[in-house]
Amino acid sequence: MAIEAKNYEDLLGLEGFSDQLLQNHFTLYQGYLANTNKLDDILKQYLQYGKVAAPEYAELKRRFGWEFNGVRLHEYYFGNLVKGGSELDPKSKLLEKIVIDFGSLENWEKDFRATGVIRGIGWVILYYDSATDRLFNTWVNEHDVGHLSGALPLLVMDVFEHAFMIDYGLKRADYINSFFKSLNWAEVATRFTTCLCCR
């Protein structure tokens, strides 16, 4: 069964993000989705016809992770943005955990922002690892490289050029400021609460 696209057009008009940038980003997301579904169909055909030893099968199998993660990471990213932003509830379990693991919300944010301006392209992800009961701000270089196995993404920031260059050129720190102004902390806190329930 094909993965269905989610609609994020309610983000149009988001402060600090031009509609052109967002529309381009939505189109990119749709491309990852189309390629994920296409690869899934092709891989099923290879399996059905017993061609799993073919070099093409191996390369398509490797590519699948890139396309699939391109879909999911964008869904996390768009999902943790909201017009006007929202504050992190001072009584939330997430804030409590951030303070335990980073010393303060300010320390966490400083680390997250510093991770976001690392030279290169990729993603910045606040992960929760239930095995160690810890939060980590992590740099993920490519969609399919650098993820923390078993850890669950709570907050995802895209730092590929397509996420900011139309509006900000090389001023990634300015983009990160706009990202923080539009953070949907309620969604991020819900993701954390869901993680705790699944332990």
Distance CA 15, CA 58 (A): 43
29: nearest Cα among 54, 51, 60, 4: 4
Tell me whether residue 143 is annotated as binding: no
Residue 25 annotated as part of some ligand binding site? yes
Cβ within 8 Å of residue 32, ≥6 positions away: 67, 68, 70, 71, 74
Residue 169, classified by CB atoms within 10 Å of its CB into exposed (0-12), middle (13-18) or buried (19+), is exposed
d(CA 111, CA 119): 15
Residues in binding site: 25, 74, 158, 162
Binding site members for Mn(2+): 25, 74, 158, 162
